[in-house]
């Protein structure tokens, strides 16, 4: 979840881009807050070559929505968690509810969890306690961990080390630099790039993508946020991923089909067979 989703619904969605040559999936989408019915989101995504979507939980209602939606639609997988911004005074009972939801077979990740020092909506102590608890749930349930890291790189990396990271860790909307990408690569953490990698001022992010091994790279929309160039400022949805993937292929110096194939294979490794 990104903070700058204001006024999205009053603006119209961009047209469908050219279809990708190989099917990919969206590793991080908020299907519940994109201003379009889920069925329509899946249809437009498929037309763009985005055939699978992980929908993310930020609190108990959105986590329940994720589970219900994944249960209803074959091409949707769920992630469940309490977002770091929502962790003020978080109780063990809430964390137990997250763990219970995680038992559903279509839940493939615990997320989004992590640390957000950009927004001070929740005290750091609460964020740390919740992050550690989510790491434990991911390990106990064998699910991937989807990490939200906003201006908190050092503490996120430290806590993952202290707790012992789950088998699969995904940094969603990766925002570190190239040096951090090398640390992530050493530890086998996946880095999921969002539409902001296309922004003009995002050269440091593109340097991080250059440093990230192709077999640890994912793509996401974080929709309805972070719409890629050339539609920045318009609402985002999964069908706009081709802009991000094509930009990523250019940065990596590979053709678009190879980029897509890597993303699809990495996604299957991270979230399990579809």
Residues found near Zn ion in the complex (CB under 5 A): 1, 112, 148, 222
| 59 in Cβ contact with 82 (< 8 Å) | yes
Nearest residue to Zn ion by CB is 148
Of 70 and 256, CB closest to Zn ion:
70
| 173 in Cβ contact with 194 (< 8 Å) | yes
Tell the burial category of 230 from Cβ atoms under 10 Å away from its Cβ (0-12, 13-18, 19+): exposed
Smallest separation, CB 176 to Zn ion (Å): 14
Q: What is the Cα 68 distance to its own chain's centre?
A: 19
Smallest separation, CB 1 to Zn ion (Å): 4
Of 118 and 274, CB closest to Zn ion:
118
C-alpha separations of 75 from 26, 28, 46, 196 in Å: 11, 13, 10, 25
* 28 known ligand binder: yes
Of 26 and 112, CB closest to Zn ion:
112
Smallest separation, CB 44 to Zn ion (Å): 19
* 104 known ligand binder: no
Smallest separation, CB 223 to Zn ion (Å): 9
* 112 known ligand binder: yes
Query: What is the per-residue DSSP string for 215-257?
Result: GGEEE---TTS-PPTTSTTS---GGGHHHHHHHHHHHHTS-HH
Query: What tokens were used for 162?
Result: 């202290």
* 83 known ligand binder: no
* 162 known ligand binder: no
Annotated binding site: 28, 30, 112, 148, 172, 222
Annotated binding site for a divalent metal cation: 28, 30, 112, 148, 172, 222
């Amino acid at each position: 979840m990104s903070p700058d989703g204001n006024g999205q619904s009053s603006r119209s969605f961009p047209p469908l881009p050219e279809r990708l040559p190989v099917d990919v999936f969206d590793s991080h989408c908020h299907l519940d807050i994109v201003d379009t019915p889920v069925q329509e989101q899946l249809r437009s995504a498929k037309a763009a070559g985005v055939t699978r979507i992980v929908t993310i939980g930020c609190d108990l209602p959105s986590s329940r929505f994720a589970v219900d939606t994944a249960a209803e639609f074959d091409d949707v997988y769920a992630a469940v968690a309490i977002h770091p911004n929502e962790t003020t005074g978080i109780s063990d009972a809430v964390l137990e509810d997250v763990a219970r939801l995680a038992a559903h077979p279509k839940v493939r990740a615990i997320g989004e969890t992590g640390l957000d020092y950009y927004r001070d909506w929740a005290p750091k102590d609460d964020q740390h306690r919740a992050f550690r608890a989510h790491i434990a749930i991911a390990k106990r349930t064998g699910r991937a961990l989807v990490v939200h890291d906003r201006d908190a790189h050092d503490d996120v990396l430290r806590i993952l080390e202290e707790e012992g990271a789950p088998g699969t860790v995904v940094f969603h909307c990766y925002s570190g630099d190239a040096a951090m990408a090398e640390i992530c690569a050493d530890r086998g953490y996946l880095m999921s790039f969002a539409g902001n990698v296309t922004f003009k001022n995002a050269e440091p992010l593109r340097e991080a993508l250059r440093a990230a091994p192709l077999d640890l790279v994912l793509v996401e929309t974080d929709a309805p946020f972070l719409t890629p160039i050339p539609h920045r400022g318009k609402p985002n949805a999964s069908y706009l991923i081709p802009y991000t993937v094509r930009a990523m292929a250019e940065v990596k110096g590979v053709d678009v089909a190879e980029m897509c194939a890597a993303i699809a294979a990495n996604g299957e490794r991270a979230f399990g067979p579809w």
